[in-house]
Structure formats: C-alpha cells, structure tokens
Amino acid sequence: MGTVTIGVSIAVPEPHGSRLQQLRAGFGDAAAYGIPTHVTLLPPTEVADTAVPAVEAHLAEVAAAGRPFPMRLSGTGTFRPLSPVVYVRVVEGAEACTRLQQQVRDPSGPVARELQFPYHPHVTVAHGIDEAAMDRAYEDLAGYEAEWPCTGFALYEQGADAVWRKLRDFPFGTVVVPPQGGHVDRGSVSAR
C-alpha cells in the first residue's frame, strides 16, 4: 500500500487560467506550469492510495449538494511576511468557497485535517520567488479582473515530477447560476 498527494480546487477557467499561469511563470515562479491556476479547497494532503475511492465518493456527495455561484477576482493581496505569496483576490464567491472547503474537510469525511493557516480563498500568482519579483507581481496585477460562474470543483494528484494533474471533475448538483453580484443584466431590462 502506497500513498498519494491529492488536492481539491476550483479551476480558474480559460482564458483566465492560462493567462495567470503565464504571468506567474514570467515573474520567475518555477512551479507555475506544474500547478493549474486555481482556488484551493483542500491543500496538498497525503492519503493512502486505497483511500482515493472513498475521497471521490465524499467529493461527489459534497458536489451533489452544491449549487453554482458567481466567482469574481479583483486586484492583489499578499501573505508576506508570514508566507512568501502574492495572490489575486477572490472578491465574490469567497463565502461559498469557505463553505465548500469546510464540507470537503468535514471531520467525519476521509480528508479531515487541520489547516496550517486560516482558510483564505485566493489565486496564487507568485510563491517563493525573490522580493523584487513578488513586488512586481503585486503591482502588475493590481488592476486584474476576471469573473465566471463556478459550477463545480476537481480532485488533483501531484505526480513524482511535482506536476498536478486532474483526476476527476465534480460538477454541482444544479445548473442554475445566480447573477454576478452588483452587475445588472441589461439584456433583461425592457424599455417602456
């Protein structure tokens, strides 16, 4: 019996995911192309390889009870000096991400675990690089904006080559996505 390192996250869809990955590589983050652009729900967690089916069953239950929600990224933040990370902020969808990650890590489930730091949904754009490059990432992406409907999450496994690969998608149980907060759909307003 061996072990595997898994993670659960919400993928940042195209074209945003590739763009942020390219920018992360451009800032000098060597791990950029081995980590799909994402919002973490379960950080890297080592489990027995025989436990993966139970993890998948648990995630399927979480997803089946979930509902799509709007996600919006805007601007940058940093965890420095506690952790050498610059990120793009999740300004809409953060509460839903927080609830999801709690359900994924439920104490009765197969991936119950404590976190090293309090949960804070974000999209990493620089990690563990020199301070000048971290500052550049923080400044260059200060005006970054993206939004999309979050319709599920995925399970990933880290390979021996340190590259994260998707094992399975877990779509939410319903397909109705509420409108983006603060935005009016002008197409549905009739003129009188």
Q: Which two tokens stand for residue 59?
A: 């995630």
Nearest to 111 by CA among 41, 21, 19: 41
Q: Which residues contact 18 (CB under 8 A, 6 or more apart)?
A: 37
Q: Within a 13 Å sphere around the CA of 72, how many CA atoms are in the beta-carbon half?
A: 12
Domains and CATH numbers, the chain: 3-174 (3.90.1140.10)
Q: What is the helix (H) or strand (E) element at residue 106, kind and residue range?
A: none
Write the DSSP symbol of residue 180: P
Beta strand spans in 49-111 (E): 69-78, 85-92
Q: Which residues of 16-55 are buried (b: 16+ CB within 10 A; e: fewer)?
A: bbeebbebbeebbbeebeebbbbbbbbbebebeeebbeeb
In DSSP terms, which residues pair with 186 in a beta bridge? none
Phi, psi of 123 (to 5 degrees): -120, 110
What pLDDT tens digit does each residue of the chain (192 aa) get? 799 999 999 999 999 999 999 999 999 999 999 999 999 999 999 999 999 999 999 999 999 999 999 999 999 999 998 899 999 999 999 999 999 999 999 999 999 998 888 999 999 999 999 999 999 999 999 999 999 999 999 999 999 999 999 999 999 986 555 555 544 332 322 232
Give me Rg for the CA atoms of the chain. 17
Q: Which two tokens stand for residue 170?
A: 């877990």
